């Protein structure tokens, strides 16, 4: 019988999805409802993660989405959503863990954040706002390239 090292079991589970923070403002309502042109909408994203119980492989990932609609110099609406999730990830190397936290977890959270943003905008009296799919892999690669560039300088 050959005794070999067995690879650790890889675990990736979504334990819980929850809203961490949410805000909606429509500072110029009801005047902004009659605006003839459609406002310019800017979407900003942020993704953070932290170990909750590292020995258990539990991590919290928070996807922050900010949607700001402006008509000329006036803010039509501002939505801020922090959609969070608890993920259990074990049995993967550190570099794979970092990639999973910033890409796979981001993909898992985006549909929930997208729904909350759209619901708030519609309940605020505005037409639906659909956030386009996000390439989290591309964003992660950009982040790595930026970090490498910072080291070189």
Look at residues 98, 73, 72 and name the one whose alpha carbon lies nearest to residue 87: 98
113 contacts 83 by C-beta, under 8 angstroms = yes
Give residue 3's pLDDT.
Answer: 58
Give residue 35's pLDDT.
Answer: 65
**The CATH number of 11-152 is which of 3.10.420.10, 3.30.390.50, 3.40.50.10810, 3.40.50.2300?**
3.10.420.10
Question: What are the strands of the beta sheet with 74-90, ordered from one edge?
Answer: 11-25, 74-90, 58-71, 40-53
90 contacts 57 by C-beta, under 8 angstroms = yes
Give residue 151's pLDDT.
Answer: 77
Give residue 79's pLDDT.
Answer: 98
Rounded-to-integer distance, Cα 64 and Cα 22, Å: 10
Per-residue pLDDT of the chain (153 residues; tens, 9 = 90+): 555 566 678 899 999 999 999 999 999 888 888 766 678 999 999 999 999 998 899 999 999 999 999 988 899 999 999 999 999 999 999 889 999 999 999 999 999 999 999 999 999 999 999 999 999 999 999 988 888 887 776
């Amino acid at each position: 019988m050959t005794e070999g090292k067995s690879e650790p079991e890889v675990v990736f589970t979504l334990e819980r999805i929850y809203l961490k923070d949410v805000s909606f403002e429509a500072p110029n309502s009801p005047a902004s409802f009659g605006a003839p042109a459609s406002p310019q909408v800017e979407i900003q994203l942020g993704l953070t993660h932290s170990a909750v119980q590292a020995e258990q492989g539990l991590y919290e990932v928070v996807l922050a989405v900010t949607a700001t609609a402006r008509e000329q110099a006036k803010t039509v609406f501002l939505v801020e959503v922090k959609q969070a999730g608890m993920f259990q990830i074990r049995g993967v190397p550190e570099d794979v863990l970092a990639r999973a936290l910033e890409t796979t977890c981001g993909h898992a959270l985006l549909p929930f954040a997208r729904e909350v943003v759209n619901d708030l905008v519609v309940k605020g009296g505005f037409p639906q706002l659909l956030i386009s799919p996000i390439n989290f892999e591309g964003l992660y690669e950009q982040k790595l390239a930026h970090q490498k560039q910072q080291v070189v300088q």
